């Protein structure tokens, strides 16, 4: 019976190990070359959108500006698109919610509030309110894929808009309205770690939602 030579087995093992290293290094080199060529499409991107009839800040603001205090009714609000039963993402508030929103601490007296808000609190169950919170934002990481992958440098751009409003209604007539928001969001977030993955500064998100 022929006994295998231990040296031959060892040589084959070394050769297989070298082959695996060569394959891994070749794959890594190919990835580095491909990424370094500027393929920014490999970087993460995403969006946050709230469904509504309006596609831009100007559209929803124009509809809101057409609401007239003391004249616009709930039927008129439906025509303008502010209908919680058919328009997504419009929250219905009660007079108790209104009290909690406006009388946030004992130093604020009811008599100091806007007349429409006072009428709502007095009307109790006859008062309701619509809360509108709309947002359309998108983010995209850009720059060098390698420096981003190994956290040496990460660049993120966020864009979009945000609109929020409250509409107070007593006996089916608007008595108070207020709006706010950010018409144009354009945020650049750049983070650098000279030591890359060795520099542990926490797992803070690259860009906090606006």
Q: 54-63, 111-120, 130-139, 141-150: which has the minimum mean pLDDT?
A: 141-150
* 169 within 8 A of 82, measured Cβ to Cβ: no
pLDDT at residue 184 in the model:
85
Instruction: pLDDT band for 210, please (50, 70, 90 cuts).
Output: very low
DSSP per residue, the chain: -PPPPHHHHHHHHHHHHHHHHHHHHHHHHHHHHHHHTT-GGGS-EEEEE---S-SSHHHHHHHHHT--TTT-BHHHHHHHT--TTTSTTEEEEEHHHHHHHH--STTS-GGGS-HHHHHHHHHGGGEEEEEEEEEEEEEEEES-HHHHHTTSEEEEEEEEEEEEEEEEEETTEEEEEEEEEEEEEEEEEEEE-TTGGGS------SS---
At residue 69, what are phi and psi to the nearest 5 degrees?
Answer: -65, 135
Q: Residues with Cβ < 8 Å from 127, sequence gap 6 or more?
A: 94, 95, 98, 119, 120, 121, 168, 169, 170
Q: What are the extents of the domains in the chain?
A: 1-37, 40-198
Q: What is the mean pLDDT of residues 42-65?
A: 77
pLDDT at residue 137 in the model:
82
Q: Is 0.75 surpassed by the pTM of this model?
A: no
**Which among 50, 15, 7, 46 has a CA at the least distance from the CA of 162?**
50
Instruction: pLDDT band for 4, please (50, 70, 90 cuts).
Output: low
Using one digit for the tens of pLDDT, what is the confidence trace for 97-139? 999 999 988 888 989 999 999 999 999 999 999 999 998 887 7
């Amino acid at each position: 019976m022929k006994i295998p030579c231990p040296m031959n087995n060892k040589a084959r093992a070394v050769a297989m190990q070298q082959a695996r290293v060569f394959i891994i290094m070749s794959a890594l080199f190919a990835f580095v070359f491909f990424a370094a060529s500027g393929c920014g499409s490999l970087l993460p991107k995403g969006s946050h959108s709230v469904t509504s009839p309006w596609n831009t800040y100007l559209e929803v603001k124009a509809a809101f500006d057409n609401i007239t205090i003391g004249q616009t009714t709930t039927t008129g609000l439906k025509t303008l698109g502010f209908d919680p039963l058919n328009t997504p993402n419009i929250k219905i508030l009660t007079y108790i919610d209104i009290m909690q929103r406006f009388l946030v601490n004992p130093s604020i007296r009811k008599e100091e509030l806007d007349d429409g808000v006072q009428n709502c609190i007095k009307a109790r169950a006859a008062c309701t309110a619509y809360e509108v919170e709309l947002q359309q934002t998108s983010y995209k990481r850009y720059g060098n894929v390698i420096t981003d992958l190994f956290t040496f440098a990460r660049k993120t751009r966020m864009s979009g808009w945000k609109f929020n409003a409250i509409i107070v209604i007593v006996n089916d007539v608007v008595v108070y309205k207020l709006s706010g928001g950010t018409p144009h969001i354009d945020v650049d977030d750049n983070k650098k770690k000279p030591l890359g993955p060795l520099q542990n500064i926490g797992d803070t998100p690259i860009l906090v939602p606006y």
